[in-house]
Amino acid sequence: MSREEPTAPAGLVLREELPADRTAILALTAQAFAVSPATGLRVEGEPFEVEVLRRLFDSKDYIPALSVVGLLGHEIVGHVISTRGWVGSHRVLGLGPLGVLPRLQRRGIGSALMQESIARANAAGESGIALLGSTLYYPRFGFVPARTVGVLPPEDAWGAHFQLLPLNALSRDIQGTFRFAGAFTRP
């Protein structure tokens, strides 16, 4: 049974994140990850993804053009960020977090943000995008288990949930363990 992809709401505008957007992005991310995608349980306190975003914004691995917000009217309703990652000495991207306001989830906003991220990464000549996420959601964008293209997860337990989208500039000799931006490591 195939699920039809929802069409993004009329009027959705995608643009590069601005520093003035950060308070709204962090609030949106707190709402989007109030329930853990890994466990399905309510998160006590601030979700880990909020602190990761704070650190990514201040990181040398932050790439402004790859931090994208979705707006409906003047409200930020979604956000996705890709930052510098590596496989050995090869530069690739690490995607996430991707968040959409809970009241607007499953309406195509996340898909629109993903498609925009992929288009921007390709236009920038990036070789691939890695992420840790749902094996039901991300393959619709071309993500495959990273091991199938020779890229290993930072943690073996991630298995097929660690995925890679090979982009136009992917070199066949990229093999090894992926390293996310340092901001993903818990202090």
What's the CATH code of the domain at 48?
Answer: 3.40.630.30
The answer, yes or no, to whether the previous bond of 97 is cis (omega within 30 of 0) is yes
**Secondary structure (3-state) at 102:** helix
Q: Is the dihedral of CA 79, 115, 132, 65 positive or negative?
A: negative
Residue 34 tokens, joined: 């109030």
- Residue 168 located in a structural domain: yes
**Secondary structure (3-state) at 48:** helix
- Structural domain count of the chain: 1
Looking at residue 2, what is its pLDDT?
45
- Residue 141 located in a structural domain: yes
- Of 72-81, 148-157, 161-170, which gets the smallest average pLDDT? 161-170
Quote the CA–CA distance of 187 and 166 in Å, as a whole number: 30
- For 86-104, the pLDDT digits (tens) are 998 899 999 999 999 999 9
Quote the CA–CA distance of 112 and 11 in Å, as a whole number: 12
Whether this prediction's pTM lies above 0.85 is answered by: yes
Looking at residue 5, what is its pLDDT?
64
Going from the C-alpha of 15 to that of each of 61, 83, 88, 161, the distances in angstroms are 20, 16, 31, 28
- Residue 7 located in a structural domain: no
- Residue 64 located in a structural domain: yes
Type of residue found at 30: A
Q: Tell me what the pLDDT averaged over the chain comes to.
A: 91
- Residue 56 located in a structural domain: yes
Residues 94 and 82 sit within 8 Å (Cβ to Cβ): yes
- Residue 66 located in a structural domain: yes
Domain extent for 78: 12-181
